[in-house]
Amino acid sequence: MADHQHLQRLQKSVQEWNKWRRQHPEIVPDLSHANLIDANLIDANLIDTLLNSSDLSRANLSHATLSRANLSDADLINTNFSDAILLKAHLINTNLSRANLSYATLNGVHLNGANLSGTDFAGADLTGADLTSTDLSAANLAGAHLNGANLADAYLNSTSFGDRDFREINGLKTVRHRGPSPLSINSLYLSEGDIPESFVRGTGASESFIEYMRALAAKPIDYYTCFISYSSKDQNFVERLHADLQHEGVRCWYAPEDLKIGDPFRKRIDESIRVHDKLLLVLSEHSVNSAWVEKEVETAFEKEHRSHKLVLFPIKLDETVMHTDQAWAADIRRMRHIGNMSQWKDHDAYQRGLQRLLRDLKQERM
């Protein structure tokens, strides 16, 4: 818990606090678990300060110095760190959602596991920063210095990188794409086409963009987007299928429909199908009797009718869909080849099913 005297001193005035810090450099201030919501801490000297598990939501720390400070597990929602210095600070598992870190100095900072959704890093120096397993959804990294930064296992969705040389960033191959993110043609030139294809495909870049990237990097050619819809109980199969499709040049995303609680069925399904070219529907005993399956089939068929292109690609993991008396299942049995992955744990059988699926996915017209 925070040292009461330390907290009172800081709350009195930043000027008095900074004077006290200069007079007692040997003291490590303890402000852990402190309530500093909306605090005005502009220019504060917080070097080496313990701020772990504190609440600094909406606080103003612009131009503050927080080098080596411990902010792990702190709430920093909408906090202003513009032009602040956070050299080698610890921000592990912090919530920095919608925080302003523009032009902040963050060299060597530890941000692993942090929520950085909607965070503004414009012009910030993140050289050598640890951004592993962070949530960078809707974050702004345009103009940020990311030389040597590690983004391994970070989550991206509508993340803005601006124009940059992606060769300077580590961990791009294991980034997790929850949705498309903009990727500029200038970045392609700056990187000389040397960006992991799995990363580029995950951003939602077009196939022509990827082909041009290969030309820049003097690499050979390939494939386009699909969404895999399934029950969470079939997660192991879907993770394997997703990895193999990505490897074969098919850009795809996946999410278990039965875990998306709280959204209206129609809106959610329409959006998933609208933004992807193809829908891979995994049918098993766990999914066939679910309400969302019927809605997805109906919506996919509607899109096919409008576009005159194949959208729905059903895959069965068992025989449930072949025996159910539901009307939508009868339509699928009558109108569509159902990919057979019932023996997916057998290597040869799985490969045969995968190759047939890849062949079907290349089919554009009905």
Query: Distances in Å between the alpha carbon of 257 and those of 269, 310, 345, 365?
Result: 9, 21, 23, 27
Mean pLDDT across 178-185: 92
| Number of Cβ within a 10 Å radius of residue 193 | 17
* pLDDT attached to residue 231: 87
* pLDDT attached to residue 224: 58
Q: Are 137 and 162 in contact (CB under 8 A)?
A: no
pLDDT, tens digit (0-9, with 9 covering 90-100), for 300-327: 888 888 778 888 899 999 999 999 888 8
Tokens 């890093």 sit on residue: 121
Residue 67: pLDDT over 70: yes
* pLDDT attached to residue 222: 42
* pLDDT attached to residue 105: 97
* pLDDT attached to residue 250: 83
pLDDT band at 268 (very low <50, low <70, confident <90, very high): very low
* pLDDT attached to residue 106: 97
Instruction: Give the E-state strand segments of the chain in sequence order.
Output: 155-156, 176-177, 226-230, 252-256, 278-283, 312-316, 339-340
* pLDDT attached to residue 273: 47
Helix (H) / strand (E) containing 244: helix 235-247
Q: Which structure tokens are listed for 151?
A: 């983004």
The residue ranking higher by pLDDT, 366 or 113, is 113
pLDDT, tens digit (0-9, with 9 covering 90-100), for 143-153: 999 999 999 99
Please tell me the least confidently modeled range out of 3-7, 70-74, 292-296. 292-296
Amino acid 187 reads S
Query: Distances in Å between the alpha carbon of 246 and those of 17, 21, 225, 243?
Result: 54, 54, 10, 5
Q: Please, what's the b/e burial string for 312-349 (b: 16 or more CB within 10 A of its CB; e: otherwise)? A: bbbbbbbebbeebeeebbeebeeebebbbbeebeeeee
Residue 248: pLDDT over 60: yes
The residue ranking higher by pLDDT, 223 or 194, is 194
Residue 272: pLDDT over 70: no
Q: Which domains does the chain have, with CATH numbers?
A: 226-361 (3.40.50.10140)
Mean pLDDT across 234-246: 92
pLDDT band at 229 (very low <50, low <70, confident <90, very high): confident
